[in-house]
Amino acid sequence: MTASPIASTVAVEKPYRSKRTANFEIAAAPDAVFAMMCPVREYEWAPGWTTNLILSASGLVEQDCIFTTPAGASIASNNDSAEAIWVTPFHDPETRRLTMIKVTPKECVTRLDIAVDETNGGATVTASYEHTALSPKGRVIVDGHTEQSYAATMAEWRNALSSQLDAAA
- The domain of 160 spans 17-168
Per-residue model confidence as pLDDT tens digits over 7-31: 678 888 899 999 999 999 999 999 9
- Asked if the structure places residue 8 within a domain, the reply is no
Determine the pLDDT at residue 75. Answer: 47
- Asked if the structure places residue 84 within a domain, the reply is yes
CB atoms < 10 A from the CB of 110, how many? 23
- Tell me the average pLDDT across 108-125: 96
Of 106, 101, 93, the C-alpha closest to 136 is 106
- Listed range (48-57, 65-74, 153-162) with the worst mean pLDDT: 65-74
- Asked if the structure places residue 74 within a domain, the reply is yes
- Tell me the average pLDDT across 119-141: 95
More confident residue, 79 or 98: 98
- Tell me the average pLDDT across 118-137: 95
- Tell me the average pLDDT across 65-71: 94
The DSSP-derived string for 82-143 is --EEEEEEEEETTTTEEEEEEEETTTEEEEEEEEEEEETTEEEEEEEEEEEESSHHHHHHHH
- Asked if the structure places residue 149 within a domain, the reply is yes
Question: How does residue 121 score in pLDDT terms, banded at 50, 70 and 90?
Answer: confident
| Domain count within the chain | 1
- Asked if the structure places residue 163 within a domain, the reply is yes
Whether 87 has a pLDDT exceeding 60, the answer reads yes
Question: How does residue 78 score in pLDDT terms, banded at 50, 70 and 90?
Answer: very low
- Tell me the average pLDDT across 104-108: 94
pTM of full prediction above 0.85: yes
What CATH number has the domain bearing residue 109? Answer: 3.30.530.20
Q: What percent of the chain has pLDDT over 90?
A: 80
Residues 36/43, Cβ–Cβ less than 8 Å:
no
* 132 CB-side CA count, 13 A: 10
